[in-house]
Amino acid sequence: MVEFKGSFVEARAKAIAAYREWPRMGFNEFMELVHIPEEVCKRGQEVKCFMSRQPAWIPGNELPWKVLFENLKKPPRRRHTGLGVFGGCVYAQASLAAARAVEEEERQQAAASGNIKSMPGIHSIQGIFTIPGVNDRPFVFDVSKIITARTFLGRRVDARQPKQPSSNPTGPFPNSDANLPLNDICFSSITTFKRPTEGADDIQSPISAQQRYASILSQRAPDQWEPAPQSDIDTITYLFPGAGHGAFPILDMYKVDMSAYNEDKEVTDRRQLILYRPLNPISKDDINGHIVCHAFEADRNGIIMLGNHIGYGFNMGIAASLSYSFYVHTNPEDAVMDGVGWWIQEINWPRVSAGRCMMECKIWSPEGKHVASVYQDGMIVPWKGPIAVKSSKM
């Protein structure tokens, strides 16, 4: 039980008063990767190595926990903010590392042969998370070749982190961090690529998300909905209502209020909509950069939002992604975000069993095109007992 010396309402009001704007990085700064030379990488000529430059984002890290619990001798452990950094960081950067390796190979082949082909775009990302990441050191990505065919390519990426913190733990990480001994693999993925092609058919649901939920979406402008909570668990949103984006990088994300829509529905039939677009412009020529931004967004809060629907919101034990698959259904240029229109992530949770859960979602362009889909499997387990708050002046 958490016991406050004064009123909990007063403590929360102090925390709310402590909210502030945080500096937020755009795509170019946050997703910067350094190509590690072969003489440093030492994995052989067939493996290309890259290193991240900025600390990964931690959900809920910018919330004023100290202010809320400043009158407690023994503050409770923050067990609701996850086991490590936001997994979307390593997921997106690993895929971007694979893309940068492929793009460089394409440029070298074009220079050698004079034959310029259309650049392959990310077609799918299939990854598994093995060890929680930490944010005081970089991720190091080993990219190895699986297949290079005429229109289809595949690359494997293994991500590790140094066993010790960086000499500059708040970033940007120096190139010398690439020389540090590495820990075990924390994330592994296969990223496939395909060249743009003309298809005989183009079939999708005749009713887009914009049409299906028009009566809800028309209630307010996209950026007038609540910013996607820094950690969307009932306990945290109750303690820190309206906390804003924090330092969440790359994208502006807003959570549509779907409570009325979901009220009379079973968990499997409930839906959540997230509206998003780039925080800062991303070069239209960097098509793979745009695609990894969609994958980055789609990993945000998905599994833990399910916890709220099934009654774990004030009793969450563990919620974590284990495997995550992302598929692009269109030619890669359809994933480019112009920074003006709002994209929609439509989320649902069709299965929970044996301590595991499934999330699936569709990514819709501002024009109503179904561009990508996500399938994610994770762990979700309730805590042994609910959290109670006690105050002498409640």
pTM of the predicted protein model = 0.93
Checking if the pLDDT of 387 tops 90, the result is: no
Provide the pLDDT for residue 117: 83
Mean pLDDT, range 160-169, rounded to an integer: 97
Range in 58-72, 170-184, 204-218, 320-334 the model is least confident about: 58-72
Strand, coil or helix: 320: strand
Decide if 154 contacts 147 (C-beta within 8 A): yes
- Whole-angstrom distance, CA of residue 155 vs CA of residue 137: 24
pLDDT at 203 over 80: yes
How would residue 43 be classed by pLDDT, with cut points 50, 70 and 90?
confident
* Whole-number CA gyration radius for the chain: 22
At 73-101, the pLDDT tens digits run 555 555 545 558 999 999 999 999 999 99
pLDDT at 292: 98
Percent of the chain whose predicted confidence (pLDDT) is above 90: 78
Write the single-letter amino acid at 372.
A
pLDDT of residue 83: 57
Q: Is the per-residue pLDDT at 102 higher than 70?
A: yes
pLDDT at 394 over 50: no
Helix 287-298, helix 87-113: angle, nearest 10? 160
Q: Which residue did the predictor score with more confidence, 166 or 75?
A: 166
Structure confidence by residue, pLDDT tens digits, 206-229: 999 999 999 999 999 999 999 999
Q: In which band, very low, low, confident or very high, does the pLDDT at 5 lie, cut at 50, 70 and 90?
A: low
Q: Residue 120's pLDDT is what?
A: 95
Task: Please choose, from the candidates 371, 288, 282, 365, the residue with its C-alpha nearest in 3D space to the C-alpha of residue 120.
Answer: 288
Q: State the SS3 of 51-87.
A: EECCCCCCCCCCCCHHHHCCCCCCCCCCCCCCCCCCH
Which amino acid type is present at position 368? G
Q: pLDDT per residue over 309-365, tens digit each?
A: 999 988 888 888 999 999 999 999 999 999 899 999 999 999 999 999 999 999 999
